[in-house]
Amino acid sequence: MSLSTQFSANKKRVGIWMLPILLLTLVWACSGEEGKGVDDPQFCKCIQVTDKLNKFSAELLERQATEKDVKTMKKLKGARDKECTRYYKMSGEDMLKRKESCK
C-alpha cells in the first residue's frame, strides 16, 4: 500500500468519526439555557440589595425620615447601582430565569 492511499484511508476514517462528534457538538451548543434558571451570583446579589432597599423605603413611608435614614438610603442606592448596573437593560423574562437560581 502506498503512502498516498494509506493517507486517504486514514482521512476517510477520521471523516467518519468527525461527523457524529460535530453533530453532537452542534446539538449541545444549540440547547442553550431554555427552560432552566441561569446561575448568576452577581444577579443574586443585585436582588438581595434591591430587596433591602425596597424594605427600607417601605419603612420610611410609615414614619418620618431622619438624617441617619437619608445616609442609609444613599448607601443602599449606591450598593444597588454597583451590583445591578449590568442588568438595567435586561428583559423581564431573562430576569425571571436568573431569579429562579437565586432561591
pLDDT tens track for 68-98: 999 999 999 999 999 999 999 999 999 888 8
Stated pTM of the model: 0.59
Rounded to whole angstroms, the Cα distance separating 6 from 40 reads 51
pLDDT tens track for 24-65: 554 555 555 444 457 888 999 999 999 999 999 999 999 999
Q: Which of 49, 38, 44, 103 minimizes the C-alpha distance to 77?
A: 49
Q: Give helix 92-100 / helix 41-62 axis angle, nearest 10°.
A: 100
